[in-house]
Amino acid sequence: MLKMAGNKSYTIVEYFGGDCGYRCGYCKNDEGNFSHGMWSHTMTVQDYQDLIDRGWRRSGKYVYKPKLDKTCCPQYTIRCHALKFQPSKSHKKVLKKISKFISKGELPKGQDDGEPMDSVCDEAGPREPSTVCHSELKCAAIADIQKELPECPAITEVQKEVVDGAPVDSEKSRKDPESVADERTTAAAPKPGMGADPGRPQCRKAKDLRKERRLQKEQIRQHADGDSSIVSPMPPTAAQTKQPKPLEDFINESLPDNSSHCLEAEHSPDGPEVGYGSFHQQYWLDGRIVAVGVIDILPTCVSSVYFYYHPDFASLSLGSYSALREIAFTRQLQKQSPKLSYYYLGFYIHSCPKMRYKGQYRPSDLLCPETYAWVQIEQCLLQLENSRYARFNQDPDAGDPRVLKDVGRALVLYRRAVMPYAAYSRKRKGSSDETEVQQYADLVGQDSAERILLYRA
């Protein structure tokens, strides 16, 4: 579905108004869910980055934006600051549960702790248009047009650029995870801890620490008595500068050596050095695939698309475990691409208690539905307790920085030619689609409307 960003890459979409309501998978309202939708024939990673920063999200090739002021269960885009993330007590509990299972082979009793993933809620996602909007004939025409447009590397459906080895077949792994066992490439599992970290200060004896504190107090007293030779107190001790244990240490501890089981996580392939786009993360237990996650690696974030797992291992809380692994993966990628520092968890749905778990990955922000500014989730929760729909930005003068100013500059694709909508309107005198195009351009924003090609029949 996505394309690598290039100098002459194009996104090609068809837009649907989305005026009709459909069944909500969260509250089960038969006609309470409303969203705008686009069918994406191809899309650059930068265009998708800009779209998700305006509240859009993809399901396969279908890209949708909930109508937050109308839908029964408003869905707000949420992102976690991956570099600042610290696992909570519940996250550490999940990692300990995984560690106990791997080391002793004991599955926890009962079901998981209640961490529904978006992919499990089949009815919660968008309803694709019932019209033949992406028929084989039209797709063939689009393919012909793409051949004539400037070439750029493609990521269609769940496809990506690969340097070493062939990409994973998305359809095959989605329908039958075990069928890809013979096709997988070998990847090193995260190595377990190797003892004390040489990069950290060593533990010091209590006697030495007390002696150092006494010396500090004496120096401070002398300074207070007017001794100018004392410039400043002693630097902080090792105990005072102790940093929280990073997420990676907790993950590695959950993968002990000489255990009853072996759990490996594989990335297909391994990040921006081989291109941005859509990737699989596969979880293998003793050589058997037990879970698969799909992520989009974009210019400033890793976006979680969906995740599914074998029902026999539901009690292991694999959904939470995969999120922690993906946050760690984001931190790893940031070392190669400094701007890539966020982990997007999809939508946060406060009106559905079972979907509030995403707010536990902090620090995190929610996207203001009116100004598209990011606001700390702590501030947003106070508003959402009082109203399902809320404008999070408290500045009354703030507006959409990419507000639509001139629909005539929006690009359209008409009869294999790229042109501004103003030129298209002159060619199609009496055209009645201006309201639809205006709505589309307003939703994607002026900048995106001038880059994305809106297909016109």
Q: What is the pLDDT of residues 56-71, one digit of tens each?
A: 999 999 999 999 999 9
Does residue 358 sit within a domain?
Answer: yes
Residue with token string 């992406």 = 134
Per-residue pLDDT of 226-238, as tens digits, reads 544 434 445 555 5
Query: Which residue(s) pair with 79 in the sheet?
Result: 344, 365
Quick one: average pLDDT of 153-161? 35
Residues of the domain holding 232: 208-247
- Say if residue 177 is in the same domain as residue 214: no
The mean pLDDT of the chain is: 80
Is position 411 within any domain?
no
Q: How many domains does the chain have?
A: 2
Cβ atoms of 300 and 341 closer than 8 Å: yes
CB under 8 Å to 218, separation ≥6 — which residues?
Answer: none
pLDDT for res 270: 52
**pLDDT bucket at 129, cuts 50 / 70 / 90:** low
Q: How crowded is the C-beta side of 303, counted as CA atoms within 13 Å?
A: 27
Q: Examine the pLDDT at 120 and tell me if it is beyond 90.
A: no
Percent of the chain, pLDDT > 90? 61
Helix 318-334 / helix 89-104 crossing angle, nearest 10 deg: 110
Both 76 and 214 in one domain: the answer is: no
Residue 456 contacts residue 419 (beta carbons within 8 Å): no
**What is residue 112's predicted lDDT score, i.e. its pLDDT?**
54
- Are 290 and 317 in the same domain? yes
Q: Per-residue confidence at 92, pLDDT binned at 50, 70, 90?
A: very high
* Confidence band of 106 (pLDDT split at 50, 70, 90): confident
Cα–Cα distance for residue pair 13/38, rounded to 1 Å: 6
What is the model's pTM? 0.77
Q: Are residues 270 and 316 in the same domain?
A: yes
pLDDT over 90 at 149, yes or no: no
Asked if residue 442 is part of any domain, the answer here is no
Q: Are 154 and 219 within one domain?
A: no
Give tens-digit pLDDT for 244-272: 899 999 999 888 878 889 999 998 765 65
Examine the domain organization and report whether 227 and 93 are in the same domain: no
Confidence class of residue 89 from pLDDT cuts 50, 70 and 90? very high
Same domain membership, residue 266 and residue 236: no
Q: What is the pLDDT of residues 300-339, one digit of tens each?
A: 999 999 999 999 999 999 999 999 999 999 999 999 999 9
C-alpha–C-alpha distance, residues 329 and 301, integer Å:
11
- Count of other CB atoms within 10 angstroms of residue 186: 7
Band the pLDDT of 178: cuts 50, 70, 90. Answer: very low
Domain boundary among the residues 386, 401, 416 is at 401
> Do 173 and 311 belong together in one domain?
yes
Residues 267 and 236 in one domain: no
How many Å apart are CA 245 and CA 213, to the nearest integer? 25
| Assigned domain for 445 exists | no
